[in-house]
Chains A and B, each alone.
Chain A
């Protein structure tokens, strides 16, 4: 196979000199993974010469060659299906679905094969495949470019589903996903591609299957992930001005669900709001709320609330601001938790 340029394998990651965007962090993660492991191949639609429509794979084909980073025909089932075969033969494929809703043609390959092959073969066939999917709204995308498809995948046993909320975590989570022996659906909140963070990108970080507390607080737990982490943090900051001490959890891993971190938080605060862009009905927040109810019932001061997209098809760009969770909607939910200042 095309070899890595001499001397770049296991290259130590230099601390980021300047604030890095999530897009750049993801690009760096891909480059470092390609350099570190000859088995890693990156492919999908427009990921080669163009560097991806979001430029996440920018420069990789030139640096690592066409045998390791390449464009495919425009067929998503084909991309995931061939990734499965490559993984059966010892490679570690990392594929890109161009947009959330354009990943649906690959649904059968993902749910019937990628997710099940290990179980089907009693662990004999391992599929360390990462499917990267830019997802969610907030960028003014026209129809089919703004879906939040996480619940379709989290409902499927055998998949790991992760989504970063910050640039530094995007790097860490993606490197962890590539090293993971299980198939990983890696959801990239595209509205945060251009968010910046000063950070030395590192593979050291919390395990990929754990949530983190992004902001500690005593009064209420906001449970967020992906694109809504920044929204939740903004709500917490605004809420602080009104006297509320709000804790924000970034789930990171949607499947498996980190019960320990969430439960510990909600048992302390007694109140919880789950936030996501996807429709609420049968959405991810329903699972989170159910788990909290089952595990924290006697600690809860109020029902678990959800702030989600409406139960409608994703709106056209000029109306999406009404659909997406906002700090205002989040704080209204916090208020609805029957606040008692003397508690």
Chain B
């Protein structure tokens, strides 16, 4: 698609007003909207988004199943948020960096990270299982919003070095209450840093609904106070997510500075497999959001456009099943992490004290209780 510059209609000159309705390119029924601020991506892009979303959702379901089999300690599901995670990642260029949170496993695997490596954190054999430099994906961040500052720093360094790199940092609605989110927006604004803040507003911070999180008219408004261009979009519309992220990345890369994108979406599953969502939200609410499903929406559009049929759909489903089976098989055995690794990466070279503690641990492995001399 043609990358368009930020549209004045979406970002008024005074940046003081935001449309109250989120931008959408595809309505919930898959019909194109009359939105003029952003351009509907071509069928090649939308087809790719569709495939990634179907595979991402299947892997997500497999990960949830793995918690029930005891193969994962815990899993925060991305289900329902595929448009956000897939759309934003597809909009990124090879040289850009992704700063994901713990809920963004679908984004991480869409970026190219091996699902087993992505799930290492949640399986528990190490903290981050993948090489962040390989696909330019920072470790999934468990503390909220702290990674946004890393994204701003990385982007600023790129600008200092004259590199064409944009950092895309993911946040949830709850994370926008954290001080680090505000410091990151402020630093990004002051430095005009090439950063995109992508906020997946899924309505809940574990159990706390948005109304208890903020009194702001929208989370996008939080960018305005920091001089950061901000937009509000339908986060269950993969087309608008892609177009908005592409526009923001293009703007950042061209020196126009950071953008905050608030994408309205919904967490279909509980916070994690260990959470009980029935304690704080009703089934009717979930059903209403299921009717706004991002995959169904794109499926309808692609079929109407003649870019998807039953045969093609079955082929994608089969690919998703193969991916899930591969994940299941590779996660079937319990990993045996090496205790020696506990000491290996704390410093560039282990200190004398760590070397001694390592020797102590090795000596104790499999040893019997000492007896009184």
Residues of A within 8 A of B (CB): 1, 41, 67-68, 72-73, 75, 77-78, 80-91, 93, 105, 108-109, 112-113, 116-126, 157-158, 160, 180-182, 209, 256-257, 259-260
B29 to chain A, nearest CB (A): 42
Choice from A80, A85, A119 contacting B154 with Cβ under 8 Å = A85
Q: Quick one: which of B132, B133, B146, B162 contacts A81, CB cutoff 8 A? A: B146
Whether A86 pairs with B156 at a CB distance below 8 angstroms is yes
Closest 9 CB pairs of A and B: A85-B153, A81-B149, A82-B153, A78-B183, A89-B157, A85-B154, A85-B150, A181-B348, A256-B351
A118 contacts across to B, CB distance below 8 A? 345-348
Take A82-B156, A85-B151 as given contacts and tell me if A1 and B162 are in contact as well, using a CB distance cutoff of 8 Å. Answer: yes
> Which one of B167, B187, B353 has the highest number of Cβ atoms from chain A below 10 Å of its Cβ?
B187
Are A109 and B157 in touch, CB under 8 angstroms?
Answer: no
Report chain B residues within 8 Å CB of A83.
153
Given pairs A85-B150, A117-B139, A182-B347, 15 additional interface contacts (CB within 8 A) = A1-B160, A41-B160, A68-B160, A81-B183, A84-B149, A84-B150, A85-B152, A85-B155, A86-B156, A91-B160, A118-B347, A121-B127, A121-B128, A180-B348, A259-B352
Q: A78-B186, A88-B138, A125-B132 are in contact. Are A158 and B347 (CB under 8 A)?
A: yes
Task: Give the shortest distance, in Å, between B254 (CB) and chain A (any CB).
Answer: 19
Do the beta carbons of B179 and A86 come within 8 Å of each other?
A: no
B143 CB-CB contact with A under 8 Å:
yes
Contact of B131 with A123 in the complex, beta carbons under 8 Å: no
24 contacts between A and B (CB under 8 A): A75-B183, A75-B186, A77-B149, A81-B148, A81-B153, A82-B150, A84-B149, A85-B151, A85-B155, A85-B167, A87-B153, A88-B132, A88-B154, A88-B157, A89-B153, A89-B158, A90-B157, A113-B143, A119-B345, A121-B127, A121-B345, A157-B346, A158-B346, A259-B353
When A67-B160, A73-B187, A81-B180 are in contact, do A88 and B341 touch as well, CB less than 8 Å?
A: no
The answer to whether the Cβ of B334 comes within 8 Å of any Cβ in the partner chain is: no
Q: Give A315 Cβ to nearest chain B Cβ, in Å.
A: 30
User: Do the beta carbons of B187 and A78 come within 8 Å of each other?
Assistant: yes
Residue from A72, A88, A120, A126 within 8 A of B348 (CB atoms): A126
Cα distance A109–B146 in the bound complex, in angstroms? 7
The interface residues of chain B lying within 8 Å CB-to-CB of A121 are: 127-128, 131-132, 139, 345
Residues of B within 8 A of A78 (CB): 149, 152, 180, 183-184, 186-187
Contacts of A68 in B (CB 8 A): 160
B160: chain A residues at CB < 8 Å are 1, 41, 67-68, 86, 91
Given the interface pairs A75-B187, A77-B179, A77-B180, the reply to whether A120 lies near B127 with Cβ below 8 Å is yes
Interface set, chain B 278-334, CB cutoff 8 A to A: none
Given contacts A118-B347, A124-B133, A256-B352, contact A89 B154 (CB under 8 A): yes
List of A residues within 8 angstroms of B126 by Cβ: 122
Residue of B nearest to A209 (CB): B351
Q: Which of B127, B132, B153, B158 contacts A119 (CB 8 A)?
A: B127
Interface centre among B146, B153, B158, B179 (most CB of A within 10 A): B153
What is the CA–CA distance of A190 and B165 in the complex, to the nearest angstrom? 40
**B36 on the interface (CB 8 Å rule)?**
no
Chain B residues in the interface with A (C-beta under 8 A): 126-128, 131-133, 138-139, 143, 146, 148-158, 160-163, 165, 167, 179-180, 183-184, 186-187, 190, 341, 344-348, 351-353
**Once the chains bind, are B179 and A82 in contact (CB under 8 Å)?**
no
**Residues of chain A with a CB closer than 8 A to B157's CB:** 85-86, 88-91
Considering the chains assembled together, what is the distance between the CA atoms of A68 and B156 in angstroms? 11
A238 CB to closest chain B CB, in angstroms?
Answer: 34
- Greatest chain B CB density within 10 A among A68, A86, A105, A117 is at A86
- In the complex, what's the smallest C-beta–C-beta distance from A321 to chain B, in angstroms? 36
Which residues of chain B are within 8 angstroms of A73 by Cβ–Cβ distance? 183, 186-187, 190
From the candidates B132, B143, B179, name the one contacting A124 in the complex (CB within 8 A).
B132
Cα separation A67 to B180 with both chains bound (whole Å):
23
Q: What are the residues of chain B within 8 A of A112 when measuring CB–CB? A: 143, 146
**Min distance, Cβ A111 to any Cβ of chain B, angstroms:** 10
Instruction: Name the A residues within 8 Å of B183 (CB-CB).
Output: 73, 75, 77-78, 81
CB nearest to A180 among chain B residues: B348
Q: Which residues of A contact B348 (CB under 8 A)?
A: 118, 123, 126, 180-182
A108 CB contacts on chain B under 8 angstroms? 143, 146, 180
Which A residues lie within 8 Å of B162 (CB)? 1
Closest to B154 in A: A85
Most chain B beta-carbon neighbours within 10 Å: one of A77, A93, A181: A77
B146 with A113: CB separation less than 8 A: yes
Instruction: Establish whether residues A82 and B149, one from each chain, have CB atoms under 8 Å apart when the complex forms.
Output: yes
Query: Which residues of the partner chain B approach A1 to less than 8 Å between Cβ atoms?
Result: 160-162
* B190 / chain A contacts, CB cutoff of 8 Å: 72-73
Residues from chain B with Cβ under 8 Å of A181 in the complex: 348
B132: chain A residues at CB < 8 Å are: 88, 121, 124-125
Q: How far is the CA of A176 from the CA of B145 in the complex (A)?
A: 32
CA distance A105 to B180 in the complex (A): 10
Q: CA separation between A89 and B166, bound complex, in Å?
A: 12
